[in-house]
Amino acid sequence: MPLVAHTQLPTFERLQQEGEDVLSPGRADRQDIRELHIGLLNMMPDAALEATERQFFRLVGACNKIAQFHVHPFTIDGLERGDKAKAYIEKYYEPFEKIREEGLDALIISGANVTHNRLQEEDFWQPLTEVFDWAKDNVTSILCSCLATHALIQYQYNIVRTPLPAKRWGVFPHKVLDRLHPLVAEINTRFDVPHSRFNEIFRDDLEQQGVQVLVDSKEAGVHLAVSPDGFHIVFFQGHPEYDDISLLKEYKREVLRFFNGERDDYPPFPEHIFNRKACRIFEAYRQQLIAAKENQSEMPAFPEEQVLPYMDNTWRDSAKAVFNNWLGMVYQLTNRDRLLPYMEGVDFDNPLKLPHK
């Protein structure tokens, strides 16, 4: 499913430079391939706004090339923005009013930063629930990530997330619980997923409401779950979209916060991501940084380039496979007329009976 650069969004050029297959509008017009229109409600803070675009665009673009993907980024009110981000959004993002008028085949909702203990007190709560209410009635499938999962699980099922004793932070092993579900068909039954959160929604609470948990971890809890109908709402509690260096960047930010006195303790390592060699490099750096802080001297350069050779991505292939399954089902359910001659016996009212392609 090639991405189509249907706007001047800089993410398209960045992905092309990375070797991704991105079609120009001219090339797309010459292809006799059906379009799918995917919304990306990007609620991430300014520093992560464009990176989040690229991460989700990569997963969409990595799917089987059976359609042309037009991805429509937009955002909502109630999110604190600086002038630069506001200008970027004004130039490249679409207003929700236009999204609602023209419609979508599927919708991705990103995570967000919070400033209150209760999610319903956030300024973005009402605009988010308005988008969700519209999408439930007008979009084939909604995929929620991290904070969006917590907010919409609460809104939909009245399950309030529980604060964790410490931040759940790292890359954790997971196991597929239902191998027959089309979303996890033909992927590894065990795979890794990054997590980065202070709160959790538990498997028992979800299952009591009929939400089906598809992927779970003994260490990190639920990662992937679906609404009781099996497909309309997909919930990620982890971050399969993360880049190789996303957690490294988060660790760097926490080290900087310690150096600047914004946190009292030196941050622990994210779990299961740095091998012994990387840990030794960071331990030596820790001693240098603490000495520099005590001497009120300049912060030593963070050893990012030194540790990169010792880091592995152990989640990307499984993330691509789940997205491929998800968008393949969206394609089938939104293309009934074309598919009917080839799909004899398929019950389109029950997406779980769709054959896996």
Whether 181 is catalytic: no
* Joined tokens for residue 265: 């303790």
Close Cβ partners of 100 (under 8 Å, ≥ 6 residues apart): 134, 138
Is residue 116 classed exposed, middle or buried when 0-12, 13-18 and 19+ CB atoms within 10 A define those classes? exposed
| Cα separation, 175 vs 193, whole angstroms | 10
* Integer Cα distance of 69 and 192 in angstroms: 27
Determine the Cα–Cα distance for residues 191 and 328; give it in Å rounded to an integer: 21
320: alpha, beta or left? (left if phi > 0; alpha if psi -120 to 50): alpha
Please list the helix, strand and coil fractions of the chain in percent, rounded to the nearest 5, in that order: 40, 20, 40
User: Active site includes 239?
Assistant: yes
User: Which of 72, 195, 239, 250 is the catalytic position?
Assistant: 239
Strands (DSSP E) along 218-330, which ranges? 221-226, 233-236
Spatial separation of the C-alpha atoms in residues 151 and 174, rounded to whole Å: 23
How far apart (Å, rounded) are the C-alpha atoms in residues 220 and 34?
A: 39
**Order of strands, sheet of 22-23, starting from the edge strand that comes earlier in the sequence:** 22-23, 3-4, 68-74, 35-41, 106-109, 141-145, 233-236, 221-226, 212-217, 162-176, 190-200
Q: To the nearest 10°, the Cα dihedral for 106, 197, 48, 46? A: 100
- Report the helix count and the strand count for the chain, using DSSP H and E: 13, 11
Rounded CA separation 97/246 (Å): 32
Catalytic residue among 122, 146, 150, 174: 146
Catalytic residues: 146, 239, 241
